[in-house]
Amino acid sequence: MAAARLSYVELHCHSNYSLLDGASHPEELVLRARALGYEALALTDHDNLYGAMQFAQYAKAWGLRPITGAEVTLAGGYHLTLLCASRRGYAHLCRLLTHAHLDHERLKPRVEPGVLASHAEGLIALSGCPKGEVPSLIMAGRLAEAEQAARRYREWFGAENFFIELQRNWVDGDARRNRALADVARRLGLGLVATGNVHYHVQERHRLQDVLVAIRHRATLDASHAVRRPNSTFYLRSPDEVARCFADFPEAIRTTVRIAERCQFDLTADLGYRFPDDPVPPGETADSYLRALCYRAAQERYGRLTKAIADRLEEELALVRKHGLSGFFLIHHRILELAREIAAELRGRPCRMPPGRGRGSSVSSLICYLIGLSHIDPLEHNLFLGRFLNEELGSVPDIDLDFPRDLREKLILRTYEHFGRDRVGLVASFPTYRYRSAVREVGKALGLPPAELDRLARLGEGGRAAAVGEELRRLAPARLANPLWRRFAEVVAQIADFPRHLSQHVGGMVISSQPLVELVPLERAAMPGRVLLQWDKDSVDDARFIKVDFLALGALSAVEECLELIEVHRGRRVDLSRIDLQDERVYDAICRADTMGVFQIESRAQGQSLPRTRPRNLEDLTVQVAIIRPGPVMGGAVHPYVNRRLGREPVTYDHPLLEPVLRETLGVILFQEQVLQVAMALAGFSPGQAERLRRAMSRRRSAEAMAELRQLFIQGCLQRGVSHEVAERVFGKIAAFSSYGFPKSHSAAFALLAYQSAWLRVSYPAEFLCSLLNAQPMGFYPPSVLVNDGKRHGVAILPPDVNRSRASCSVEGDAVRIGLGYVKGLSAAMAQEVEAERQRHGPFRSLFDFLERTRVTREGVENLVTCGAFDAFGLQRRELLWQLGLLYRSEGRRALVRQRRLPLSTEQDAAPLPELSAWERMAADYAALGLSPRAHPMSFLRRVLDERFVTSRALERLPDGARVRIAGLVVCRQRPQTAKGVVFLVVEDDDGLVNIVVWPKVYERYRLLVRGEPFLVVEGTLQRRDGTINVVADSLRRLSLARMAPPEARSFR
């Protein structure tokens, strides 16, 4: 016997992108194949290439040669295994899969024989699993037809490209089928090939596979016997085991290697994608046209072109020319022009403001500024270009565009029309199993009691499914004694992060110069008329496609409306790209954490940080935006950074090698790209290895891959003379940071928007508040808290008024008038109808007049009355409600409308009614509007509290350590996973907000109060730290409202 090991390549293998069928991540298959000594591995998911790019990238990174393929479903339901031999074969596979999806009902892909025949070139076909046409006919005893079918495939693909596939998974019938298949092959002169029909990387996963099949059939395991696999042998086999399985067909094993050698198509190489050239005027090239556009815009922006401007522009244009990116910039310019057209249509007037803005590193480019992509003058603000454009550009620069919400929807459709339907596709995403979905679906498949599953799903802290073991221990420890529940926990943990279905990415579109269908298969989205690529954003990125992200950003909607309001009310046109970026008033407010409503820096956590870090410029703000993210928090970066910034501790580095990459962030990791830089500096990773590390962390987190990388990292460190201890410590920080941080350029763009919104808030508080109220839901605080903050900043809040309010909130002088749309029971459309009716036929003259002229529901009218929208008619709210009851009587509104010419007097029925108390008016406001323009509830409750209570404002004068008792309305409850069980409350009283810290022990005692009580009395200790004030609670109780509701109010309705 030859000592050489028999080689084998698996050519039929499913990942979990064979949705609810394959039971291993592509990464797990790759690592297992490598461990088994495979040289190559094919991925053949059912009717898709969802995981193909991810698999190929990963396989290459680990030194395994990836083969791209798919198991397609043919008309008649037969399966066929297809592998790409060449680029042409790949294009054909893409076309076949696209045909399977787009020409058939959604989720029922089928390839028609005629289409298969005309796209066979470049593909190698294997006759398939037992559900293939040839094996199926054999098992049905129709041998002649089986042979005929094989003959047909041979004709389509050619005798050298069609193979008879043998599988041996220890299923009854395998031996008989394989003998018959071998006969057919012999008679037709076809090669035999052995495959494993792999559905998971290791045998233990067969349980998960069973569960996936049960979930797919919406059945329990017991009820899905007939459709489940009969045993656990559908795993990746070692070459030795394959040799034993196919001892009677050794040539079938050798053929696998031969086929693998012929599959030379490399998905990770250039696919030939090109972004389209936007048509340029005759006589111009893309380069010359971009240059002309920039110079024209520069003339407009700057008036006079200084040498500095011209130099920078020439430098950038040269780089753009060098990398052939002129067309790329022109496309973005085109998209912004389309957006501008849409904005003009939507707003009914020409749009002066650029309709969208870039985030990310594009803000550093002068070209981007000039073509309207970025809103920041890079020269004035001394922004470093290098990250965006440099001499050795690895990939196309990233440009994400943020748009106001309404505009974005229309822009997606307009882009389709402009570039052509076959050249534009939406990027896909794959929602994955999370804790709740995994618990519910796995539990159902195992037949566990629904009530108990529901409890486990609801009470769990959520998040990753892998944590199910901990949750079970916490919530139902007794269950762990039961083997079925232990299996349950095991499977739930395994299903974590498995893709569940194909969905649409939030805003990514790919635009291509040639039909996309040659590059990637297309598939229907659930939303009619939309077409998805079969790849998610990471795969699209790996393919070096250009993805244009159209994102909807509520803050941008608010800023845009704010500018409009300023122009309408003050006659001032604010150009945000020209505002003073060093306005001290703005930074003073930021350092006081007086930032409610400001983009990115308004949250409770930010409020705790701002007075410590005290940002005084855009660079500082860039750090500030990045620092309150799970990455830096988990990576333990926040406290060292704050202390170092305050000069309380020296800036140190875990190792001198880290100084160059961490100097700007005082020795801690704050930005995503620093993870890569650290790995390169400390462990000597190549850029490719560092990228692999980033992937392992940011994508499907695979424990095995991380363990390998950790090993590599530590070895690399040791080689560079870094101690084992330091290497471990730094790797720990990187792993904790993971991917949950912002890249610096992204932080910079967000910091700019944060500054701009802070500037608007300081400069035009009324317009700012109004635009926030109209852009809801967004941000951290509810409208009721926003209006109280507005009042503290001198903005009066006016209640809704049927004759003054518009549908949305509006500005009156220095006050904000609440819009009719805020009244519960009035839809946005109805509010607009009321406004339009008033504009057409003049003010409403009475409640009766209003009822006659509008179709607002009774509930809506009642709420309008309750919140004072009819107060201007001189009647009290109770009288109006009484009247309303009489007007409706028992006939209801319809009868009233039909008989509206009858004289209708209700005066004789009127009853003298006491006026609502101020407290009742306030309570009615909250009920009807969700906020009160008039008063804070605590201003009434204050009267019944004794002098031991202090107000939020009074806290500012008390010393650290003082015992305090406060009362207020809870506006925010947080129990961050990063805070080890500590609960943070924000309580609002008539003077402002108070931050409360509830330690776990206290929380356990007062859990129900903390979770559900709206008004709380808190006793505790005042804690002052670097300008922040917190109350550390030691006891809590509810604040009774009983004394506030007078008895007659109760008997009224």
User: Shortest gap between Cβ of 428 and another protein (angstroms)?
Assistant: 15
Pick 139 or 346: Cβ nearer another protein: 139
334-373 positions binding another protein, by CB under 8 A: none
User: Shortest gap between Cβ of 377 and another protein (angstroms)?
Assistant: 52
Stretch that binds another protein, among 135-143, 341-349, 379-387, 579-587 (CB under 8 A): 135-143
User: Is 774 among the residues that bind another protein (CB under 8 A)?
Assistant: no
Q: From residue 140 to residue 159, what is the string marking binding to another protein with x (rule CB under 8 A)?
A: x-------------------
Which of 24, 54, 98, 136 is the binder for another protein (CB under 8 A)? 136
User: Shortest gap between Cβ of 249 and another protein (angstroms)?
Assistant: 16
In the numeric block, which tokens belong to residue 114? 């005629």
Q: From residue 465 to residue 504, what is the string marking binding to another protein with x (rule CB under 8 A)?
A: ------------------xx--x-----------------
User: Shortest gap between Cβ of 478 and another protein (angstroms)?
Assistant: 17
Cα 561–850–825 angle (5° rounding)?
60
Q: What one-character-per-residue DSSP string does 949-991 give?
A: B--HHHHTTSPTT-EEEEEEEEEEEE--GGGTT-EEEEEEETT
User: Is 584 among the residues that bind another protein (CB under 8 A)?
Assistant: no
User: Shortest gap between Cβ of 212 and another protein (angstroms)?
Assistant: 9
Give the Å distances, CA to CA, from 536 to 14, 66, 492, 548, 741: 18, 19, 24, 13, 20
3-state secondary structure of 683: helix
User: Shortest gap between Cβ of 889 and another protein (angstroms)?
Assistant: 58
User: Shortest gap between Cβ of 207 and another protein (angstroms)?
Assistant: 6
Pick 206 or 838: Cβ nearer another protein: 206
Calculate helix-pair angle for 687-698, 703-719, nearest 10 degrees: 150
Pick 52 or 865: Cβ nearer another protein: 52
With 0-12 / 13-18 / 19 or more C-beta atoms within 10 angstroms meaning exposed / middle / buried, residue 478 is: exposed
Q: Can you name the residues that pair with 973 across neighbouring β-strands? A: 985
Selection from 368, 737, 354 nearest residue 560 by Cα: 354
Pick 170 or 302: Cβ nearer another protein: 170
Give the Å distances, CA to CA, from 107 to 20, 110, 522, 933: 13, 10, 12, 52
Selection from 917, 926, 920 nearest residue 988 by Cα: 926
Which of 5, 176, 845, 953 is the binder for another protein (CB under 8 A)? 176
Stretch that binds another protein, among 201-209, 693-701, 891-899, 953-961 (CB under 8 A): 201-209
Selection from 267, 202, 200, 238 nearest residue 65 by Cα: 267
Question: Residue 489: in which H helix or E strand, if any?
Answer: helix 483-495
User: Is 202 among the residues that bind another protein (CB under 8 A)?
Assistant: no
98-117 positions binding another protein, by CB under 8 A: 107
Cβ atoms 125, 161 nearer than 8 A: yes
Phi-psi region of 522 (alpha: psi -120 to 50; beta: other; left: phi over 0): beta
Pick 536 or 835: Cβ nearer another protein: 536
Pick 18 or 606: Cβ nearer another protein: 18
40-69 positions binding another protein, by CB under 8 A: 46-47
Q: What are phi and psi of 797, to 5 degrees?
A: -110, 120
Pick 208 or 313: Cβ nearer another protein: 208
User: Shortest gap between Cβ of 127 and another protein (angstroms)?
Assistant: 15
User: Is 171 among the residues that bind another protein (CB under 8 A)?
Assistant: yes
Size of the site for another protein (CB under 8 A): 43
Question: Residue 1036: in which H helix or E strand, if any?
Answer: strand 1028-1038
CA distance 798 to 812: 9
User: Shortest gap between Cβ of 1007 and another protein (angstroms)?
Assistant: 35
Which of 6, 75, 115, 139 is the binder for another protein (CB under 8 A)? 139
Selection from 396, 372, 383 nearest residue 319 by Cα: 396
**Spatial CB neighbours of 910, under 8 Å, sequence gap ≥ 6:** 879, 882, 883
Phi-psi region of 273 (alpha: psi -120 to 50; beta: other; left: phi over 0): beta
CA distance 876 to 865: 9
Cα 584–588–592 angle (5° rounding)?
170
CA distance 804 to 839: 11
Q: From residue 430 to residue 449, what is the string marking binding to another protein with x (rule CB under 8 A)?
A: ----------------xx--
Cβ atoms 615, 624 nearer than 8 A: yes
CA distance 876 to 508: 54
User: Is 131 among the residues that bind another protein (CB under 8 A)?
Assistant: yes
Which of 9, 11, 19, 294 is the binder for another protein (CB under 8 A)? 19
User: Shortest gap between Cβ of 498 and another protein (angstroms)?
Assistant: 14
Pick 171 or 243: Cβ nearer another protein: 171
Pick 61 or 96: Cβ nearer another protein: 96
Which of 8, 11, 12, 18 is the binder for another protein (CB under 8 A)? 18
User: Shortest gap between Cβ of 130 and another protein (angstroms)?
Assistant: 6
Pick 129 or 290: Cβ nearer another protein: 129
**Spatial CB neighbours of 348, under 8 Å, sequence gap ≥ 6:** none
Stretch that binds another protein, among 132-140, 256-264, 371-379, 901-909 (CB under 8 A): 132-140
User: Is 79 among the residues that bind another protein (CB under 8 A)?
Assistant: yes
Q: What one-character-per-residue DSSP string does 258-313 give?
A: HHHHH----TTS-----PPPPP--TT--HHHHHHHHHHHHHHHHHSS--HHHHHHH
Which of 37, 173, 660, 1027 is the binder for another protein (CB under 8 A)? 173
User: Is 170 among the residues that bind another protein (CB under 8 A)?
Assistant: yes
In the numeric block, which tokens belong to residue 361? 């590193």
Query: In this structure, which amino acid lies at residue 465?
Result: A
Which of 93, 129, 696, 880 is the binder for another protein (CB under 8 A)? 129
Provide the pairing of β-strand 503-511 with 522-524: unpaired
User: Is 73 among the residues that bind another protein (CB under 8 A)?
Assistant: yes
State the distance between the two ends of the chain, measured CA to CA, in whole angstroms. 98
Pick 127 or 702: Cβ nearer another protein: 127
CA distance 829 to 415: 28
In the numeric block, which tokens belong to residue 268? 């990770």
User: Shortest gap between Cβ of 839 and another protein (angstroms)?
Assistant: 53
User: Shortest gap between Cβ of 138 and another protein (angstroms)?
Assistant: 10
* Residue written as token pair 């109004």: 770
Which of 117, 175, 526, 836 is the binder for another protein (CB under 8 A)? 175
Pick 172 or 270: Cβ nearer another protein: 172
In the numeric block, which tokens belong to residue 637? 């970066």
Cβ atoms 43, 10 nearer than 8 A: no
Which of 1, 76, 172, 304 is the binder for another protein (CB under 8 A)? 172
User: Shortest gap between Cβ of 73 and another protein (angstroms)?
Assistant: 6
User: Shortest gap between Cβ of 722 and another protein (angstroms)?
Assistant: 47
CA distance 756 to 581: 8
Q: What are phi and psi of 445, to 5 degrees?
A: -65, -35
Pick 394 or 483: Cβ nearer another protein: 483
Selection from 319, 317, 326 nearest residue 286 by Cα: 326
Stretch that binds another protein, among 87-95, 172-180, 741-749, 845-853 (CB under 8 A): 172-180
User: Is 34 among the residues that bind another protein (CB under 8 A)?
Assistant: no
Q: From residue 207 to residue 246, what is the string marking binding to another protein with x (rule CB under 8 A)?
A: x-xx--x--x----x---xxxxxxxxx-------------
Q: Which residues bind another protein (CB under 8 A)?
A: 18-21, 46-47, 73, 79, 107, 129-131, 136, 139-140, 170-176, 206-207, 209-210, 213, 216, 221, 225-233, 446-447, 483-484, 487
